[in-house]
Structure 1
Amino acid sequence: MKQLLLYSIASSFGFVVDLCAFVLLSQWLHIYPARLFAFLLSVAFTYEINNRITFTGNGKRWLYVLGQCKGFLINFGLFVWVSQALNELAWGDYIAFAVGCFAALLFNFFFARRFVFSR
């Protein structure tokens, strides 16, 4: 349970990095590539936190990135689906962003704990 709490805290900071990058990048890029680049920044950020604090330094970076990419498919799929469903709302893209991130957080935690940082 402690790891889930620490992972959630790290993911919350990652969410802020992700959201800020998305908001800034979406000013110049279409929302889909902006979403991809924001994701890449947040993966690098959260790997460092999770490797140093949550799972204390025994992670395999390539496997972490692989798991994050699988999580991104969940995240991006939900993002596209919800943003299209809510395209009439002013905040539809941001709601879609949050829905995708939350679903991916759950997947990514269990993947990281089981495959990346297992002892």
Structure 2
Amino acid sequence: MRRQLLRFAVAGVAGFVADAGVLWLALHLGCGYFAGRAISFLAAVWVTWQINRRFTFTGRSSGSAWREWWRYLTAMSAGGCVNYLAYSAVVLEMPRTAWLPFLGVAAGSLAGLAVNFVSARWWVFRHRSQR
């Protein structure tokens, strides 16, 4: 399980990079902090799903990739609520700087990590080998 948690965290770092990059782009295209964050969250979920299904939770899949994607998105949305609350607290309470949205993304990512790992391991990828 430690190996999976480490791999899950590495996938989370990749997700953070995708999240922050898409948020930066969305902000520069005129989206606000919250609409941009909704878009960037979806991008991060897709990136982490791709990594986790190939490297973290290996083994034979029990169904279609499409069904797995929707289960993953649903599961990550629970952690996403925790993530979004932490992000919102940072964005609303801290002084405005160029780094503010990225600090919010980092705080949110850390806050949602445990919820996301538990739901991925024991619900989304439960039928894959648990090595």
Instruction: With the length of structure 2 as denominator, give the TM-score of the two structures.
Output: 0.83
Alignment correspondent of 1:24: 25
Q: Measure how far apart 1:89 and its partner are.
A: 4.1
Alignment correspondent of 2:117: 109
Q: Percent identity?
A: 31
Q: Measure how far apart 1:94 and its partner are.
A: 2.4
Contact 2:19 2:105 in 1 (8 A): no
Q: 1:48 aligns with which of 46, 50, 59?
A: 50
Q: Measure how far apart 1:16 and its partner are.
A: 0.3
Give the AA of the match of 1:100: G
Contact 2:18 2:44 in 1 (8 A): yes
What SS is found at the alignment partner of 1:81?
helix
Alignment correspondent of 1:74: 82
Alignment correspondent of 1:34: 36
Give the AA of the match of 2:45: V
Q: Rg larger in 1 or in 2?
A: 2
Taking the aligned partners of 1:111 and 1:17, their CA distance within structure 2 comes to 21
Runs (4+) of structure 1 moved beyond 4 Å? none
Measured on the aligned residues, the alpha-carbon RMSD in Å equals 1.5
Taking the aligned partners of 1:92 and 1:33, their CA distance within structure 2 comes to 15
Give unpaired runs (5+ residues) of structure 2: 63-67
Taking the aligned partners of 1:96 and 1:62, their CA distance within structure 2 comes to 26
Taking the aligned partners of 2:101 and 2:49, their CA distance within structure 1 comes to 26
What SS is found at the alignment partner of 2:58?
coil
Taking the aligned partners of 1:94 and 1:11, their CA distance within structure 2 comes to 14
Taking the aligned partners of 1:89 and 1:44, their CA distance within structure 2 comes to 29
Give the AA of the match of 2:117: F
Q: Which has the higher contact order (CA 8 A, sep 6+)?
A: 2
